[in-house]
Amino acid sequence: MRGLTDRAEALLDRHLLKGSRRPLAVAVSGGGDSVALALIAEGWARRSRRDLLLLTLDHGLNPDSAAWTGRCEALAQRLGRPFRALAWTGPKPASGLPAAARAARHRLLAEAAREAGARVILMGHTADDVAEAQVMRAAGATTPEPRVWAPSPAWPEGRGVFVLRPLLDVRRAELRDWLSARGETWIEDPANADPRFARARARRALPADTPLERQEPAPAAIPFEERLGVLDVARAAFRASPAGLAERWLAMACVCAGGGSRRPPGVRAARLSAALRGDGPVLATLAGGRIEADTTAIRIFREAGEAARGGLAALSLPRSQAVVWDGRFELLAPRPGLEVRRLAGLASRLPDAERRRLQAVPAAARGALPTILDGERVSCPLLSDTPAVQVRGLVADRLRAAAGLVTREPD
């Protein structure tokens, strides 16, 4: 079997660009997994002429966390690489702490990576993390299974950012043997052995010699077109896809078109997928998305009336600062004083040319289009020849990434 470093570097070669001017971010906690990852990434980056940025997050949950951050900074200094310390501040939830910490970690890492210009974050999950996640899900948890390559789960902070886990086929014990042979030390977080947490209980339930199995999900390559945030897919293509893949694609499509971040319950996605694989018309909502299907086509778009989660709320746009509205569109205003709202209730105030173009949009999708208010002037930048703001749709790129169709670091 190939050595640990060779196996990890093969994945780095497969998914990363050599010689790119973008930095590569590495999440380092000071534990054995992330220390080993930083050392391997440093060797690969040096040979591949890549800048490397080490990021450490202090969750504020352990009195020794400041000292742990100091050790991570010392590692970065030893490697001659830049370092940035991040902090999860504010009140912590009384329940669901591990999930909240995981979400905060991905959000803060993604924000730091984007600010630095990085498009990929390396994380040190191992084969044991996969097995522990499987044990936790069997017990009823919703812990996701780590994947080697995946888009950042933080949305919209992680737009355009990917996570690469090159150690996912390596056992934790093998990593520690590798470190010990090099005279390296690492931190042991006591939370990993705290039985109050499901992760620690799962770790204890797994004997060291447990055979580990992992399978990367196949790409959900159902062809689609997107225009103005509306996804269009041939119903025949949906029916021709394997049932499990079609169900997974549908859930992702609804999340992306709806602009949210939470996957819908599996039972609802399965029920809707089964209906779409039939022949009759379908009208439904799922995860903030509205699904309209006739005998030949399926259209998925934002449910304009679903405003409970606040994504469709009005937003004042800062000058020259990109902001994401409703999780679907990135807007950049050239000057202050502009506001974005949903089109619902404002269509009659659009210029004539924009009202004509609006007719090509499915009627139920029109009310959720972004609309710019500039004093008394109302305009939809997606329909205008001279939009008041720069607008970039996020739905299609997000869906391609979520479906596994983006397999290498974007240039």
In this predicted structure, what is the pLDDT of residue 214? 78
The answer on pLDDT for 1 being more than 60 is no
Query: Residue 285: in which H helix or E strand, if any?
Result: strand 282-286
Mean pLDDT of 263-280: 93
Mean pLDDT of 240-259: 96
The more confident residue out of 140 and 151 is 151
The answer on pLDDT for 158 being more than 70 is yes
Q: What confidence tier does 351 reach under pLDDT thresholds 50, 70, 90? A: very high
What does the alpha-carbon distance between residue 105 and residue 38 come to, in Å, rounded to a whole number?
18
What does the alpha-carbon distance between residue 296 and residue 393 come to, in Å, rounded to a whole number?
25
β-bridge mates for residue 391, sequence order: 331
**Do both 57 and 155 map to the same domain?**
yes
β-bridge mates for residue 122, sequence order: 26, 164
Mean pLDDT of 354-358: 97
**Do both 182 and 231 map to the same domain?**
no
Residues 6+ apart with CB under 8 A from 342: 304, 307, 312, 326, 367, 368, 369, 370, 371
| CATH code assigned at 57 | 3.40.50.620
Mean pLDDT of 2-26: 94
Question: Minimum mean pLDDT among 201-205, 373-377, 394-398: which range?
Answer: 201-205
**Under DSSP, is residue 274 helix (H, G, I), strand (E, B) or coil?**
helix
What does the alpha-carbon distance between residue 260 and residue 258 come to, in Å, rounded to a whole number?
6
Asked which of 205, 236, 253 is the last residue of a domain, the reply is 205
Is 32 marked within a binding site?
A: yes
For residue 252, CA distances in Å to 249, 324, 407 come to 5, 19, 17
Mean pLDDT of 283-288: 95
- As for how many domains the chain has, the answer is 3
Is 241 marked within a binding site?
A: no
Mean pLDDT of 354-369: 96
**Do both 247 and 179 map to the same domain?**
no
Considering the domain boundaries, does residue 101 fall inside one? yes
pLDDT digits over 74-88, tens only? 999 999 999 999 999
In this predicted structure, what is the pLDDT of residue 309? 61
**Under DSSP, is residue 377 helix (H, G, I), strand (E, B) or coil?**
strand
Residues 6+ apart with CB under 8 A from 340: 314, 315, 317, 325, 331, 370, 371, 372, 373, 389
Considering the domain boundaries, does residue 214 fall inside one? no
pLDDT digits over 326-346, tens only? 999 999 999 999 999 999 999
Mean pLDDT of 193-214: 72
Mean pLDDT of 66-79: 96
Considering the domain boundaries, does residue 220 fall inside one? no
**Do both 27 and 91 map to the same domain?**
yes
The more confident residue out of 133 and 294 is 294
Considering the domain boundaries, does residue 217 fall inside one? no
Is 19 marked within a binding site?
A: no
**Do both 31 and 177 map to the same domain?**
yes
Considering the domain boundaries, does residue 324 fall inside one? yes
How many residues belong to the chain?
A: 411
In this predicted structure, what is the pLDDT of residue 310? 65
Radius of gyration, alpha carbons of the chain:
23
β-bridge mates for residue 120, sequence order: 162
**Do both 321 and 388 map to the same domain?**
yes
What does the alpha-carbon distance between residue 187 and residue 152 come to, in Å, rounded to a whole number?
26
In this predicted structure, what is the pLDDT of residue 345? 93
**Under DSSP, is residue 6 helix (H, G, I), strand (E, B) or coil?**
helix
Is 348 marked within a binding site?
A: no
Considering the domain boundaries, does residue 177 fall inside one? yes
Q: Phi and psi for 178 in degrees, rounded to 5?
A: -65, -40
**Do both 48 and 107 map to the same domain?**
yes
In this predicted structure, what is the pLDDT of residue 139? 74
**Under DSSP, is residue 312 helix (H, G, I), strand (E, B) or coil?**
coil
Of 143, 138, 135, 145, the C-alpha closest to 207 is 135
Residues 6+ apart with CB under 8 A from 102: none
pTM comes to 0.93
CA–CA–CA angle 172, 178, 181 (5° rounding): 140
In this predicted structure, what is the pLDDT of residue 307? 66
**Do both 151 and 294 map to the same domain?**
no
**Do both 98 and 186 map to the same domain?**
yes
SS3 per-residue string spanning 152-173 = CCCCCCCCCCEEECCCCCCCHH
What does the alpha-carbon distance between residue 17 and residue 36 come to, in Å, rounded to a whole number?
21
The answer on pLDDT for 68 being more than 90 is yes
**Do both 299 and 380 map to the same domain?**
no
Considering the domain boundaries, does residue 212 fall inside one? no
For the chain, the maximum distance between any two Cα atoms, rounded to a whole number of angstroms, is 73
The more confident residue out of 213 and 182 is 182
**Do both 132 and 197 map to the same domain?**
yes
In this predicted structure, what is the pLDDT of residue 341? 95
What does the alpha-carbon distance between residue 129 and residue 154 come to, in Å, rounded to a whole number?
20
Averaged pLDDT score across all residues of the chain: 92
Burial (CB count within 10 angstroms: exposed 0-12, middle 13-18, buried 19+), residue 98: middle
What does the alpha-carbon distance between residue 199 and residue 204 come to, in Å, rounded to a whole number?
9
In this predicted structure, what is the pLDDT of residue 266? 87
The crossing angle, in degrees rounded to 10, of helices 266-276 and 243-258 is 110
In this predicted structure, what is the pLDDT of residue 117? 97
User: Are 175 and 160 a contacting pair, CB within 8 Å?
Assistant: no
Q: Which position has the token pair 């630095």?
A: 116
**Do both 10 and 28 map to the same domain?**
yes
What percent of the chain has pLDDT above 70? 97
Considering the domain boundaries, does residue 210 fall inside one? no
What is the residue range of 229's domain? 225-306+397-402
In this predicted structure, what is the pLDDT of residue 243? 93
What strands, in cross-sheet order, belong to the sheet with 370-374?
Answer: 315-317, 338-342, 370-374, 377-379
